[in-house]
Chain A
Amino acid sequence: MSERKLHPAVAGAQPMYRAENDPDAPLFEGAYKQRFDDILTRYPDKRAAILPVLAMCQELRGWISSETIERVAELLDLTPAYVLSITSFYTMFRPQPVGKYLIQVCTSIGCDLCGAENVVEKLLAATGTRTGEISEDGLYTVIEVECLGACGFATVVQVNERVYESVKTETVTRLLEELR
């Protein structure tokens, strides 16, 4: 876990999907308390810190539980209902746990034209899951997402903090092996 001190300008801009997370990890302690404080210095009010702070919680715990929502609400002087209205609006916040590797396949038009649907099917078959489920070994969750902004490299697949470009049905097996 990143104990290295981050520059305050980027303290709130860290990836929120990590393979190593712990649903019971303490929130806002040690280096993370420092990051929380640094994030707050970058905005004129507390509410503005909500996205980076929630992202930091998800980075640690892998998903956003109601307990997390309550903690964040308390720290930012907001109501839990308000925080929930944010986590449910922005699609990157996970309302329940996911596999160690969250595999997000773009099926928007650019990737769709290049066979994204087949890639999804192949990934689901290879992981033995249905969309959104966690595989039996706890390793994989496959979901379809909208445009990931790399459309010329179709099909685009994002796994946690990595982007895989030009994924074809034939390369799916290799991609999964690489993850293990």
Chain B
Amino acid sequence: MAYPHSHPRETRILSEHFGEIEATTLDGWIERGGYKAVEKALGSMSREQVIEVVKESGLRGRGGAGFPTGLKWSFMPKDDTLPHYLVCNADESEPGTFKDREIMRWTPHQLLEGCIIGSYAIGASHCYIYIRGEFVDVIPVVNQAVVDAYSRGYLGRDILGSGYSLELTVHLGAGAYIAGEETGMLNSLEGRRAEPRIKPPFPAAKGAFGMPTTVNNVESLAVVPHIVTNGGDWYRQWGTEKSSGTKLFSCCGHLQKPGTYEIAMDFNLKDLLYDLCGGPPEGREFKAVIPGGSSVPILAADELDAECSYEGLEAAGSMVGSGGLIAMDDSTNMVHAVRRMVEFYAHESCGQCTQCREGTYWAAKILRRIERGGGREEDIPLLLDISANMAGKTICVLSDSAAAPIVSSIQKFQDDYMALIAKGQHAAVGT
């Protein structure tokens, strides 16, 4: 079965074998060159050398924050005797994001290789893959891969005779977006509510069960075996100085060909939208695009000529985020779209911080009121005021994420707000 909508302009490193059902099996994966990177790393490289090559590659975390992966690994203590943990963040719950799902369901062994090499690099004795419990079709695929990897000696005691031992456990979430935030994830893994922790201490000093821990996104880990095999310079041949390599963009919403595409990080957003995703539905135009998951600012149609690098999308006024692209055509009412997004954050707020708990609740309520025709002109400054109080003031950035679509939609699509408010007032006068 051909993977839906692959395109010759993609650069398929992670996604090379998407759509090939045999690649999900251990034998199929080995036939495709699988586990060579594990043999190389564990057999002929030191921990430091693995970290070094990942640093050289310029790989930045693909979970949203874009923090350099090699550097993060280098923060882990070197000469201590404490147990270390690697937690693979497979909680993928940000609206618009479905790229980790594709990695896991088509190439589970690619992820396991990354987990093994990453664990080795940080000296971890146990790796937890924290998968959101809702991934009911993905979980059995990963489980099977883990069982097979154990049976062939890629996991467990003295892996491939290297002297390095690693246990790996699949741990399921149970429905909480906030468990995707890395310290929320650590609390969740420990059997607590997924409430983010105040940092410092950072996970490298005091993470899961109080021990040195690294949390990495699925995509960040899955690309590591390729970097170990081919070198840092090889990975740098794509993208820009600050944004090397390729990135998966999962694209949804009003598109002819939604799906997950892998592009070099200097690819143009317009080309991604029109060429790879086939543009908006017949007879429609794009009105707005969110390039990196619902937590990043909305771009208007005239802002789409941008490079999909970290710096390129930032210059355009948004962010790479998780790479969850949401396209909206000119049939979309932005108040409705933003209301739906803000309701998500209101539902998912863990409730620890007042600004977030109250801010998301009231903002959602005001947006609902405007959409239903009960809005007032003062609602616009009120929403902006609430948003200002939500950003930069809380333990984690869920609150900032909720504010992003509110502020950017008011900046760029105020007409949609004013039209609904005017219509509501008109209707009220008529009654």
Contact = CB atoms under 8 A, between A and B. Distances in A.
A149 B98 contact: yes
Given A13-B171, A89-B194, A108-B344, A158 B134 contact: yes
Given A48-B190, A147-B344, A152 B98 contact: yes
B361 interface: no
Contacts of A112: 337, 340
A161 B96 contact: no
Contacts of A113: 252-254, 326, 328, 332, 337
A153 B140 CA distance: 20
Interface residues of B, number: 64
Interface stretch (A22-30, A51-59, A130-138, A170-178): A51-59
Contacts of B258: 151-154
Contacts of A148: 134
Interface stretch (B30-38, B54-62, B172-180, B410-418): B172-180
The prevalent SS among residues of B at the interface is mixed
Given A108-B340, A109-B340, A146 B177 contact: yes
Contact of A163 (B137, B175, B253, B348): B137
A55 B172 contact: yes
Contact of B191 (A13, A47, A93, A163): A47
B167 A13 contact: no
B328 A89 contact: no
A5 B260 CA distance: 36
A142 interface: no
B278 to A, nearest CB: 12
B193 A85 contact: yes
Contacts of A158: 134, 136
A90 B136 contact: no
B268 to A, nearest CB: 20
A146 B92 CA distance: 12
B97 interface: yes
A122 interface: no
B209 A7 contact: no
Interface string A1-21: 000000101101101110000
B165 to A, nearest CB: 14
Contacts of A153: 98, 258
A12 B191 contact: no
B253 A7 contact: no
A139 interface: no
Given A108-B344, A148-B134, A90 B146 contact: no
A43 B126 CA distance: 9
A92 B97 CA distance: 20
A23 B294 CA distance: 39
A80 interface: no
A92 B133 contact: yes
A92 B340 contact: no
A10 B136 contact: no
A160 to B, nearest CB: 8
Interface of A: 7, 9-10, 12-13, 15-17, 42-52, 54-55, 76, 85-86, 89-93, 107-110, 112-114, 145-154, 158, 160-163
* 10 nearest A-B residue pairs (beta carbon): A91-B175, A90-B174, A92-B175, A47-B191, A152-B258, A151-B252, A13-B170, A50-B191, A110-B252, A10-B143
7 contacts: A45-B209, A48-B191, A51-B172, A55-B172, A55-B174, A93-B174, A154-B258
